[in-house]
Structure 1
Amino acid sequence: MKIYKYLMLFIFTGGLLTSCANDDMDDVPGQSELPGEEPKDDLQLEIRDFEYKAMDVWYYYNDDMAIYEDDFFADQSELNDWLMDWDSPEDLFYDGLLLNYPVTDRFSWIVDDYEELENMFAGTTTSTGMDYGITRVCAECNELILYVRYVIPNTPAEDAGIKRGMVFTEINGTELNVNNYTDLLASDSYTLTLGKIENDGISTTENTIDVSKTTVDENPVLVAKTIDLSGTKVGYIMYNSFTFNYSGALNDAFGQFKSENVTELILDLRYNGGGRIDTSIDLASMITGQFDDQPFVKFQYNDYIQSVYQNQGSDLTISMDDTVNWQNSSAPTNSLNLNKVYIIATGSSASASELVMNGLEPFIDVIHIGTKTVGKVQGSDTYYDSTAPNFDKTAAINPNHKYAIQPLILSLVNKNNEAYPGGLVPDFEQQEFISTYGVLGDPNEPLLSLALDQIDPTRSANRTIKEGIIPTEMISERKAFQHDYQRMYIESENIKTNSNSVE
Structure 2
Amino acid sequence: MKTCSLFIKTLLLYFLVFSLYGCRKSENKPDYPAGSQENINSWILDSMKVYYYWNTSLPANPSLAVDPVTFFKGIKNGSDRFSALVNPDFPESYPPSLVHILGFDWITLQTGSGKVQTVVSLVVPDSRAAGKGLVRGDMIKTINGTIPTADNIAVLTSNSIAQQSADLEIEGKTGVVRISRLTNSEDPVYTYKVFQSAGKNYAYLFLNSFEDAALAQIKKAFTYFKEQHAQELILDMRYNPGGSVPVAAALATMIASNTTTGALFVEYRGNSKAGSRKSSFGTEIQRLQGALRTDFIELSGYRLGLNRVFILTGTHTASAAELLINSLRPYITVIQSGQQTLGKDMASFVIKDYRNPQIVPKWEIYPMIFKLFNAAGKGDYSNGLMPDQLADELSSLPLKPFGDPADPLVQSCLERSTVTTTSRLKVESVAEKPRVIYDSRVPVDLKSSLTITRPY
Q: TM-score, normalised by structure 1?
A: 0.73
Question: Aligned match of 2:166 in 165, 190, 202?
Answer: 190
Q: Could you tell me whether the CA contact under 8 Å between 1:47 and 1:385 is conserved in 2?
A: no
Q: Could you tell me whether the CA contact under 8 Å between 2:122 and 2:135 is conserved in 1?
A: yes
Q: Could you tell me whether the CA contact under 8 Å between 1:435 and 1:469 is conserved in 2?
A: no
CA distance in 1, matches of 2:225, 2:5: 39
2:271 matches 1:302: yes
CA distance in 2, matches of 1:240, 1:275: 10
Question: Aligned match of 2:127 in 151, 155, 177?
Answer: 155
The amino acid across from 2:267 in the alignment is K
1:362 maps to what in 2? 330
- The structural deviation recorded for 1:20 is 5.2
Question: Aligned match of 1:374 in 342, 355, 360?
Answer: 342
- The structural deviation recorded for 1:34 is 6.5
2:229 matches 1:247: no
Question: Aligned match of 1:42 in 35, 47, 64?
Answer: 35
Question: Aligned match of 1:210 in 178, 181, 189?
Answer: 178
The amino acid across from 2:346 in the alignment is Q
Question: Aligned match of 1:407 in 359, 367, 388?
Answer: 367
The amino acid across from 2:185 in the alignment is D
What secondary structure is seen at the aligned counterpart in 1 of 2:249?
A: helix
CA distance in 2, matches of 1:230, 1:25: 63
What secondary structure is seen at the aligned counterpart in 2 of 1:384?
A: coil
The 1:171–1:397 alpha-carbon spacing in structure 2 relative to 1, beyond 3 Å, is farther
1:429 maps to what in 2? 390
- The structural deviation recorded for 1:479 is 3.1
1:379-438 Cα shifts (integer Å, max 9, x gaps): 222111112xxxxxxxx6838732211111111122222223333332322222252422
CA distance in 2, matches of 1:404, 1:398: 12
CA distance in 2, matches of 1:418, 1:238: 26
The 1:397–1:39 alpha-carbon spacing in structure 2 relative to 1, beyond 3 Å, is closer
The 1:268–1:437 alpha-carbon spacing in structure 2 relative to 1, beyond 3 Å, is same
- The structural deviation recorded for 1:340 is 0.7
CA RMSD in angstroms, aligned pairs only: 4.1
Q: Number of matched residues?
A: 431
Q: Could you tell me whether the CA contact under 8 Å between 2:138 and 2:398 is conserved in 1?
A: no
Q: TM-score, normalised by structure 2?
A: 0.80
CA distance in 1, matches of 2:293, 2:367: 29
2:296 matches 1:317: no
Between the aligned residues of both structures, percent identity stands at 26
Q: Could you tell me whether the CA contact under 8 Å between 1:127 and 1:216 is conserved in 2?
A: no
The amino acid across from 1:106 in the alignment is R
2:50 maps to what in 1? 57
The 1:245–1:382 alpha-carbon spacing in structure 2 relative to 1, beyond 3 Å, is farther
More strand by share: 1
CA distance in 1, matches of 2:293, 2:434: 39
The amino acid across from 2:403 in the alignment is G
What secondary structure is seen at the aligned counterpart in 1 of 2:183?
A: strand
Unaligned residue ranges in structure 1 (runs of 5+): 1-8, 73-78, 197-204, 310-315, 388-395, 459-463, 494-502
CA distance in 2, matches of 1:144, 1:485: 28
1:114-140 Cα shifts (integer Å, max 9, x gaps): 9x9xx99xx9974222133333x2469
Q: Could you tell me whether the CA contact under 8 Å between 1:126 and 1:216 is conserved in 2?
A: no
The amino acid across from 1:111 in the alignment is V
2:110 matches 1:94: no
The 1:357–1:21 alpha-carbon spacing in structure 2 relative to 1, beyond 3 Å, is closer
The 1:182–1:437 alpha-carbon spacing in structure 2 relative to 1, beyond 3 Å, is closer
Aligned ranges 1:449-468 → 2 under 5 Å: 449-455=411-417, 467=429
The 1:282–1:46 alpha-carbon spacing in structure 2 relative to 1, beyond 3 Å, is farther
Unaligned residue ranges in structure 2 (runs of 5+): 421-425
2:84 matches 1:112: no
Structure exhibiting the larger radius of gyration computed from Cα positions: 1
Q: Could you tell me whether the CA contact under 8 Å between 1:375 and 1:423 is conserved in 2?
A: yes
CA distance in 1, matches of 2:398, 2:99: 29
2:354 maps to what in 1? 386
2:106 maps to what in 1? 132
1:202 maps to what in 2? none
CA distance in 2, matches of 1:16, 1:62: 18
The 1:468–1:398 alpha-carbon spacing in structure 2 relative to 1, beyond 3 Å, is farther
